[in-house]
Structure 1
């Protein structure tokens, strides 16, 4: 378990929602909360690699004070870091094991739910990155299932471990969604079955296969209720739709085997980050 939940904060509504989500996560998991602001000092002095709470913008200090007042038992720190925001935030999250960001920063374009910093960090960080979008009332949703996107051919242990842990600590149902289209037919069989019966049997077999693949994780987390769903819809579309009633959507990002290889988000993760209605966790895996 990581020692702290790290959240990047710049004073925007999205980063305030991220800080609130991270504070709740820290309390729920028994960890510390570390607020990190990357930028120049308020008094114009040159930014040091890391400095204490002095010289932080008032908007950042306001968020810190609000969380401290609401959660007096939470161990909380707030620091300013120098450097490039994507790299500084990724490094801070990797040291602790979990990074939380707002899904759009101060420089975001209208209509884009994820800014360039969030996309870069989600594509490069070697720790799970949760991106939180502020709702119209300025908060972030907390109720609902934990939804995880599953690729039945490449089940990522890191992704499933994160999803089950989140469901367990929330007391939530884990909903595993896999996109897999069945053959279009026509189906030929010696048995006296019509095409609909054959298709239903194939769909049931795919569902059983997914349930069997998750059985070992259910054994590790027996308190977690697991629901499985096979859908013919594209994975991104299915997960975005599932996010409407979710507290968190978890997607994987494959990390390149070579250190010098290009890191990038897959099409599914990219679509979910831009369009999900709930916070989204991007979890790197081999």
Structure 2
């Protein structure tokens, strides 16, 4: 049974997270925990309890048979969610992509939250609607994408989806030194990046039939490569290092920018996550 933690606030962004999680629970076995992180001295606890109860009732109606628990934590947003997520398989939060200060949780920056939790964080944009589409995963030049790749492949396998594996490359500047120019020739760089992509596809094929895996080697920025393949996608998946989303080509700012530019839920998978 999948354990899903949803960060709830009173400002509207968590509506999308609740809708996404309820839709997921309706098609599988899940246990959902609703958590609000707040200062109980400054906020009316009764109003928060009512919001949690109403949200729990909504999920139980949309996903019959799903067990829903609620909790109020008097901690910082990031710290509280990190603690609550220790026993979760997924943390789900909502986001106003272009208005990060529109809610407490969005204001804490979802990327910051995702670097502090040990499970994947799914950031669902306000206005999300269900789509039966592809799973898109961005692959980096190091091993920071390994967990993200397996997560994406398993998502595709479990939901009968196609998997798009995306990787970006850039030629290095011209060098007048013949030896350096030979090693870093565009053809050599392209071949090296193609090998990274082929290796990733082979790993994904352990979880998913190879004919459902599609690879894309794009020249340019990782941000542009991922965004270019988002149309029609159901979920985008990116990886991070244990200590933050600073992963070679997929630099932390790229993860943030992808989240701000795509109308699709983004799963951020920490490199250090252990297999269940």
Q: TM class, shorter-chain normalised?
A: 0.7 to 0.9
| Equivalent residues, number | 255
Q: For residue 173 of structure 1, report the CA deviation from its aligned partner.
A: 0.8
Deviation string 1:92-122 (CA, Å, 9 cap, x unpaired) is: 11221310001149x9437xx9532423212
Matches within 5 A, 1:65-76: 65-76=57-68
2: CA distance, partners of 1:43 / 1:232: 51
Q: In terms of Rg, which structure is larger? A: 1
Provide the TM-score with structure 2 as the length reference.
Answer: 0.78
| Separation in 1, partners of 2:27, 2:264 | 18
Change (3 A) 1:234 1:203: same
Q: Does 1:94 align with 2:86?
A: yes
1:12 corresponding residue in structure 2? 11
SS of alignment partner, residue 63 of structure 1:
helix
Q: Aligned-residue CA RMSD in angstroms?
A: 3.3
Residue 281 (1) aligns with residue 267 (2) = yes
Q: Does 1:221 align with 2:213?
A: no
Whether the aligned pair in 1 keeps the contact of 2:194 and 2:217 (CA below 8 Å) is yes
What is the TM-score when the length of structure 1 is the normalising length? 0.76
Alignment partner, residue 133 of structure 1? 125
The 8 Å contact of residues 247 and 279 in structure 1, kept in 2 or not, is answered as: yes
Number of the residue aligned with 2:239: 252
1:83 aligns with 2:100: no
Structure 1 residues 169, 13: CA separation in 2 closer, same or farther (over 3 Å shift)?
A: farther
SS in 1 for 2:48: coil
- Separation in 2 of the partners of 1:61 and 1:11? 13
Partner deviation per Cα, 1:104-145 (whole Å, 9 max, x = no partner): 49x9437xx95324232123222211111112xxx4443321
Q: Which residue in the other structure is 2:113 paired with?
A: 121
- Measured in 2, the distance between the counterparts of 1:166 and 1:152 equals 22
The residue that corresponds to 1:178 in the other structure is 167
- Which piece of structure 1 moves more, 207-216 or 171-180? 207-216
8 Å CA contact 1:90, 1:99 repeated in 2: no
Cα gap change, 1:179 to 1:43, in 2 (>3 Å): closer
Query: 1:193 aligns to what?
Result: none
SS in 1 for 2:118: coil
Contact 1:41 1:55 in 2 (8 A): no
Q: Which residue of 2 aligns with 1:260?
A: none
In 1, the alpha carbon distance for the partners of 2:70 and 2:211 equals 34
CA 174–42 in structure 1, closer or farther in 2 if over 3 Å, else same: farther
Gaps of 5+ in 2: 175-184, 247-251
Point out where structure 1 has 5 or more consecutive residues left out of the alignment: 48-53, 186-197, 257-262
1:34 aligns with 33
CA distance 1:3–1:82, change in 2 (3 Å) = farther
| Residues 27 and 69 of structure 1, relative CA distance in 2, 3 Å threshold | closer
Residues 23 and 62, structure 2, Cα contact 8 Å, conserved in 1: no
Is the Cα–Cα contact under 8 Å of residues 26 and 62 in structure 2 kept in the other structure? no
Q: 1:35 Cα shift?
A: 1.2
Label 1:17 to 1:233 Cα distance change in 2 as closer, same or farther (>3 A): same
Structure 1 position 255, deviation (Å): 1.4
